[in-house]
A and B are shown apart, each in its own frame.
Chain A
Amino acid sequence: MGKQQSDMIRGTLDMLVLKVLSMDPMHGWGICERIKLISDDELQVNQGSLYPALHKLTQEGWIRSYWGLTENNRKARFYRLTRAGQKQLAVEAAHWSRLASAVTRVMATS
């Protein structure tokens, strides 16, 4: 675990959570795993701080929680994206790509 990858870019966690949930409803641990998996371990979610973020998103009405069963028939709290959440994801994704390309352009100048 190098130092470079340990910190999440501030404010992107919400967007990543929304993105992951847009594929499938998932529980908290699963969300962490999925982010790690997709980013090839480049992005490490600070596990505990995921939960305050989930609560915040729920409160905004972007995701909704429900009790469900895992593949191993274990009871767990699942989160799914709401329609408002889909819209928000689109907004944040667009914002992110603008930001990312801007940063890339700046870094590419020699």
Chain B
Amino acid sequence: MRFFSRLFFRLRAVLFPSRLEEAMKEEMAFHMEMEAKKLMDSGVPPDEAVRKARRDFGEPEYHKEKARESWGVGTVQNFRIDARHTFRTLRRNPTFAFVAILTLGLGIGANSAIFSVVNGILFRDLPFNAPDQLVSICETFPDDPGRCVTASPPNVADWAERSGSFQDIGVFRWWGHILETSDGAQDLSSLLANPELFRVMGYQPAVGRVFRDEDQLEGNRYRAVLDYDFWEAQFGSDPTIVGTTLTLSGETFEVIGVLREGHKPPQTAGERGADIWLPLHIDPRDNEYRDWRGFYAIGRLNPDASLEVARQELNVIRQGLLQEYPEANQGWGLQLTTLHDRVVGPVKNTLFLFLGAVGLVLLITCANIANLILARLSSRESEMGIRTALGAGTGRLTGQLLTEGLILALLGAGVGLAVAWVATPVFLSLAPAGIPRLSEVAVDGRVLVFTLGLAVLATVLFGIAPLARASRIRPMDALRKTRHGKRKGPVGGINGALVVSEVALALALLVGAGLLTRSFASFYRWDPGIDRDHLLVVSVYAATSSYQSTDAIMNLYRTLDLELLALPGVRSVARTSAGPLFGGFESDQVLRAEEAGQGGTGQQARWFDVSPSFFETLSIPVLRGRGLTTADNPDAPMVMVVNETFANRLWPGEDPLGQEVWMELHDGSRQVVGVVADVPPFNPDAATGAEMYWPQAQYTRPFSYFVIRTETDPAAVQLQVTDRIHSVDPDIQVGTVNDYDALIGSRLVQPRFNMLLIAIFSGVALVLAGIGIYGVVSRSVASRTREIGIRVALGAKRSRVVREVVGQSVGIVGIGVALGIGLALALSRFIRGFLTGVVATDPLTYSSVALTLLAVAVMASLVPALTASRVDPMESLRE
């Protein structure tokens, strides 16, 4: 009841303030009139009576103000008055308004832009039905429970069957197919998926149907579902495509349907689409595939199931499967995460790094605005004093300052939204590939709310210092004070604290930028030990029926070697199954042959099958023994060349040449004929692993990379490679021809992006800190003009004045630097994960950043210092 009566009263007061005001005025007038009348009746002369009535009543305005306060809507009413006052003062100080709003706008805008990215990627629901029921399941490596690989279909089928938590578990993997059309062959990105996946993800057909359980049965597998965009681009959205057939990599598939628009594969491995969806090409229940962990698994939980229960349940099932199929499952673990976490996990830290950095920029912005407001406040002390003297309470002054702050912040937020609107697309266009969900980033309602929240937060942040100052204003002092009155120099106290915190925050940001730069540089200077200039890499896949035998493949390879060598400008050509920055990671457990079968597990070693020209073409020096030759053919003894690390691990202090190596997976042995130099991995922090190379002639697969060393500009050769290979056989699948330097460049994109973004933020921070220092020092100098004038008149050297002013500023900044180093050290653990080749406490970075800030302090205070030294003593004393 009381609540409603208050609400009613307040509403009336807010909606019709003039009516209440009117009533109040009237009843007070009535009161005084009655009082006067009473006095007159008792014989007091009329004008005396009126005067006395007024005096007894007190100041009506004061009582009205009290009454307004009691309404509780005084706040609203006062806000109107304060707002009007604020707009008037802002119009009178356009420079202040412009600087403050623009600075805030940039600070808030940068935050909103980054937040809109974070929001789109991390906070928004995945675009699937009931996305929180979706769980990504993967198996973890035997020797590395933290490392997730994909899952094997037979295991997944058993989990789904034995678990009560899941409605269904779908599996899928990417594949490549060649679509044969009348216009020639075309690479397609295809996706192999079981019918369960369509139920799990809620995929619906636009035309025809999606996969059903029977499509996975032997004999029904040559069916295809088209992606909507592919259907539109390739077939002009022709609905009669359903029922026709397509030839994919030599096999015929029937099109049974088209997925709806926007029904895309889950982005478990970055942003990647599929043109065409096919049933699994294997029987998912066939135990032969139990150790083939090549599939992403996504389950949909029952509505009442929890992730934790599902996790426990699957672990019990996993124990059972380990008993039943020990060979395939020995040592493998299980990891369940929500699909959302799986998708955004890899970029989460990066995004929080950006958000943290941009948050620091906002703090610095607020400190700067607080400084600006303080500067204005000291010139408005007499205004404040007069208002206090006239009866404005501390509450009213606080309210007014907060109102001013809020209006500034809201105007800043408006500018900020515009900035975010512009900056977000720019960010997206610059962002490196591989960031998931980028297409979902937009400035939406949540970004709006976030921005308004920032404005309020900013108001509080930059309002604290001025409020503290204003509350100390005493009316008499303020009124008495002339421009030259005794006043403590603004360096020190609140202003000093603001500069110190600005410097500290800027230093922390700069350290982050410096560390990322050093890390980037260590990547950039990476020396792989191979000559990376004039090098091209291309993958070749001879997948057709013409190349079934080893001889056929080797003949093709030799022909291609000669054809590529014949291209003008090519110096040498080599083949390899993989290499630094390209190719997969194939490894085996190796042992000294004499220790094989004794129960030892051996060493992990990466293997490559290469052509004889490989070491020469990549300029990897052969240190001992020999490289590989054409004589190392299938009829010759099985041989290999190992790298130094390999030799040192297996035969420390012994001669590796002539030794036999046993390989567990390959189930055979080879003799070491040479040792080559280590090729370090593309990570300055990682150690080189053991590697072994053997001849392709002794280990032939229809897949290989061709590495081409050119004498002339590789770009000219690059254009001809694909055509030259296709001139031998047009059905050969040729990958993108990459310039090796460009490959390295693509690896640098992410670290460069991180570095640049943080560098931009810290650059802004540096400028803001500089402005802050300048502002405070020049005000300090201005308030001391008279003192300096007297000292100059008494014979003080001008150089000494300069030294003193600069020294004072350096002193304050020094405190900020010291605090900033502490802050940066405290924050360093957040950036550790982004660094390679440099430690998070790198002294060089810290010291150079500290020196930079001190240099900025000197520069920012030099101008006011010189101004101070040129003070004309006579002028300053006369003023």
- Taking Cβ atoms with an 8 Å cutoff, the residues of A that contact B are 27-29, 32-33, 46-49, 51-56, 58-61, 65, 74, 76-77, 84
A48 touches B62 (CB 8 A): yes
Closest beta carbon of chain A to B557's beta carbon, Å: 93
Q: Answer whether A59 and B72 are a contact pair too, CB < 8 Å, given A47-B35, A51-B63.
A: yes
Q: How far is the CA of A60 from the CA of B28 in the complex (A)?
A: 21
Query: B2 — which chain A residues lie within 8 A by C-beta?
Result: 60-61, 84
- The residue of chain A having its C-beta at the shortest distance from the C-beta of B30 within the complex is A76
Point out which of B1, B58, B64, B70 has the most chain A C-beta atoms below 10 A from its C-beta: B70
B70 touches A47 (CB 8 A): no
B31 touches A28 (CB 8 A): yes
- Does B481 have its Cβ within 8 Å of any Cβ on chain A? no
Query: A29 — which chain B residues lie within 8 A by C-beta?
Result: 30-31, 34-35
- Does B879 have its Cβ within 8 Å of any Cβ on chain A? no
Closest beta carbon of chain B to A43's beta carbon, Å: 15
Within 8 A of A (CB), among B1-48: 1-2, 4-6, 9-10, 23-24, 26-28, 30-31, 34-35, 38
B9 touches A51 (CB 8 A): no
29 intermolecular pairs with C-beta atoms under 8 Å apart: A27-B30, A28-B27, A28-B28, A28-B30, A29-B30, A33-B38, A48-B28, A48-B57, A48-B58, A48-B63, A49-B58, A49-B66, A51-B24, A51-B31, A51-B63, A51-B64, A51-B66, A52-B70, A54-B67, A59-B6, A59-B10, A59-B71, A60-B6, A61-B6, A65-B23, A77-B27, A77-B30, A84-B1, A84-B2
Query: B4 — which chain A residues lie within 8 A by C-beta?
Result: 61
- The residue of chain A having its C-beta at the shortest distance from the C-beta of B69 within the complex is A52
Q: Answer whether A47 and B56 are a contact pair too, CB < 8 Å, given A60-B6, A61-B1.
A: yes
Interface range on chain B (Cβ under 8 Å from partner): 20 to 34
B56 touches A52 (CB 8 A): no
- The residue of chain B having its C-beta at the shortest distance from the C-beta of A74 within the complex is B30
Within 8 A of A (CB), among B43-92: 56-60, 62-64, 66-67, 69-72
DSSP majority for the B interface? helix
Q: How far is the CA of A53 from the CA of B71 in the complex (A)?
A: 10
B5 touches A60 (CB 8 A): yes
- The residue of chain B having its C-beta at the shortest distance from the C-beta of A59 within the complex is B9
Closest beta carbon of chain A to B800's beta carbon, Å: 60
Q: How far is the CA of A55 from the CA of B69 in the complex (A)?
A: 10
Q: Answer whether A77 and B58 are a contact pair too, CB < 8 Å, given A48-B63, A49-B66, A59-B9.
A: no
Closest beta carbon of chain B to A48's beta carbon, Å: 4
CB < 8 Å neighbour of A48 from B5, B34, B59, B71: B59
14 other A-B residue contacts (CB within 8 Å) besides A27-B31, A52-B63? A47-B57, A47-B58, A48-B62, A51-B27, A51-B66, A52-B67, A55-B70, A58-B9, A59-B6, A59-B72, A61-B2, A61-B5, A65-B23, A77-B30
Closest beta carbon of chain A to B586's beta carbon, Å: 81
- The residue of chain A having its C-beta at the shortest distance from the C-beta of B27 within the complex is A77
Q: Answer whether A55 and B67 are a contact pair too, CB < 8 Å, given A47-B35, A61-B2.
A: yes
CB < 8 Å neighbour of B70 from A28, A46, A59, A65: A59
Point out which of B4, B10, B27 has the most chain A C-beta atoms below 10 A from its C-beta: B27
Point out which of A47, A55, A77 has the most chain B C-beta atoms below 10 A from its C-beta: A55
Query: A28 — which chain B residues lie within 8 A by C-beta?
Result: 27-28, 30-31
- The residue of chain A having its C-beta at the shortest distance from the C-beta of B28 within the complex is A51
Closest beta carbon of chain B to A65's beta carbon, Å: 8
Query: B38 — which chain A residues lie within 8 A by C-beta?
Result: 33
- The residue of chain A having its C-beta at the shortest distance from the C-beta of B3 within the complex is A61
A27 touches B60 (CB 8 A): no
Q: How far is the CA of A16 from the CA of B69 in the complex (A)?
A: 21
Closest beta carbon of chain A to B39's beta carbon, Å: 12
B27 touches A27 (CB 8 A): yes
Q: How far is the CA of A54 from the CA of B64 in the complex (A)?
A: 12
Closest beta carbon of chain B to A92's beta carbon, Å: 15
Within 8 A of A (CB), among B168-201: none
Q: How far is the CA of A73 from the CA of B26 in the complex (A)?
A: 16
- The residue of chain B having its C-beta at the shortest distance from the C-beta of A47 within the complex is B57
Q: How far is the CA of A72 from the CA of B58 in the complex (A)?
A: 26
Instruction: Mark each residue of chain B from 488 to 506: 1 if its CB lies under 8 Å from any CB of chain A, else 0.
Output: 0000000000000000000
Closest beta carbon of chain B to A47's beta carbon, Å: 5
Closest beta carbon of chain B to A61's beta carbon, Å: 3
A46 touches B27 (CB 8 A): no
Query: A76 — which chain B residues lie within 8 A by C-beta?
Result: 27, 30
Query: A53 — which chain B residues lie within 8 A by C-beta?
Result: 70
B71 touches A55 (CB 8 A): yes
Q: How far is the CA of A40 from the CA of B59 in the complex (A)?
A: 26
Instruction: Mark each residue of chain B from 472 to 489: 1 if its CB lies under 8 Å from any CB of chain A, else 0.
Output: 000000000000000000
Closest beta carbon of chain B to A75's beta carbon, Å: 8
Query: B58 — which chain A residues lie within 8 A by C-beta?
Result: 46-49
Query: A32 — which chain B residues lie within 8 A by C-beta?
Result: 31
Q: How far is the CA of A29 from the CA of B31 in the complex (A)?
A: 5
Query: A48 — which chain B residues lie within 8 A by C-beta?
Result: 28, 57-60, 62-63
B26 touches A52 (CB 8 A): no
Q: How far is the CA of A32 from the CA of B141 in the complex (A)?
A: 89
Q: How far is the CA of A32 from the CA of B6 in the complex (A)?
A: 25
Q: How far is the CA of A51 from the CA of B827 in the complex (A)?
A: 57
Closest beta carbon of chain A to B735's beta carbon, Å: 78
- The residue of chain A having its C-beta at the shortest distance from the C-beta of B73 within the complex is A59
Q: How far is the CA of A56 from the CA of B9 in the complex (A)?
A: 10
- The residue of chain A having its C-beta at the shortest distance from the C-beta of B24 within the complex is A51
- The residue of chain B having its C-beta at the shortest distance from the C-beta of A53 within the complex is B70
Q: How far is the CA of A27 from the CA of B30 in the complex (A)?
A: 9
Query: A84 — which chain B residues lie within 8 A by C-beta?
Result: 1-2, 5
Closest beta carbon of chain B to A34's beta carbon, Å: 13
Q: How far is the CA of A77 from the CA of B2 in the complex (A)?
A: 22
Point out which of B5, B35, B59 has the most chain A C-beta atoms below 10 A from its C-beta: B5
Query: A33 — which chain B residues lie within 8 A by C-beta?
Result: 38
CB < 8 Å neighbour of B23 from A56, A59, A77: A77
Which 10 pairs, one residue from A and one from B, show the smallest C-beta to C-beta distance?
A: A61-B5, A48-B58, A52-B66, A48-B63, A56-B70, A29-B34, A52-B67, A77-B27, A29-B31, A55-B67
Closest beta carbon of chain A to B600's beta carbon, Å: 88
Q: How far is the CA of A52 from the CA of B60 in the complex (A)?
A: 11
Closest beta carbon of chain B to A8's beta carbon, Å: 14
Closest beta carbon of chain B to A46's beta carbon, Å: 7
Q: How far is the CA of A46 from the CA of B67 in the complex (A)?
A: 14
Closest beta carbon of chain A to B279's beta carbon, Å: 73
Closest beta carbon of chain A to B142's beta carbon, Å: 73
Closest beta carbon of chain A to B22's beta carbon, Å: 11
Q: Answer whether A77 and B71 are a contact pair too, CB < 8 Å, given A59-B5, A59-B9, A61-B5.
A: no
Query: A47 — which chain B residues lie within 8 A by C-beta?
Result: 31, 35, 56-58
A49 touches B63 (CB 8 A): yes
Q: How far is the CA of A100 from the CA of B458 in the complex (A)?
A: 51
Closest beta carbon of chain B to A14's beta carbon, Å: 11
Query: A49 — which chain B residues lie within 8 A by C-beta?
Result: 58, 63, 66
Q: How far is the CA of A60 from the CA of B9 in the complex (A)?
A: 9
Closest beta carbon of chain A to B751's beta carbon, Å: 63
Closest beta carbon of chain A to B272's beta carbon, Å: 64
Q: How far is the CA of A77 from the CA of B71 in the complex (A)?
A: 17
Point out which of B6, B31, B60, B71 has the most chain A C-beta atoms below 10 A from its C-beta: B31
A77 touches B26 (CB 8 A): yes
Closest beta carbon of chain A to B23's beta carbon, Å: 6
Query: B63 — which chain A residues lie within 8 A by C-beta?
Result: 48-49, 51-52
Query: A51 — which chain B residues lie within 8 A by C-beta?
Result: 24, 27-28, 31, 63-64, 66-67
Q: How far is the CA of A74 from the CA of B26 in the complex (A)?
A: 12
Closest beta carbon of chain A to B57's beta carbon, Å: 5
Q: How far is the CA of A27 from the CA of B32 in the complex (A)?
A: 12
Query: A56 — which chain B residues lie within 8 A by C-beta?
Result: 70
Q: How far is the CA of A59 from the CA of B71 in the complex (A)?
A: 7
Closest beta carbon of chain A to B285's beta carbon, Å: 75
Query: B72 — which chain A residues lie within 8 A by C-beta?
Result: 59
Q: How far is the CA of A49 from the CA of B31 in the complex (A)?
A: 12
Closest beta carbon of chain A to B77's beta carbon, Å: 13
Query: B69 — which chain A residues lie within 8 A by C-beta?
Result: 52
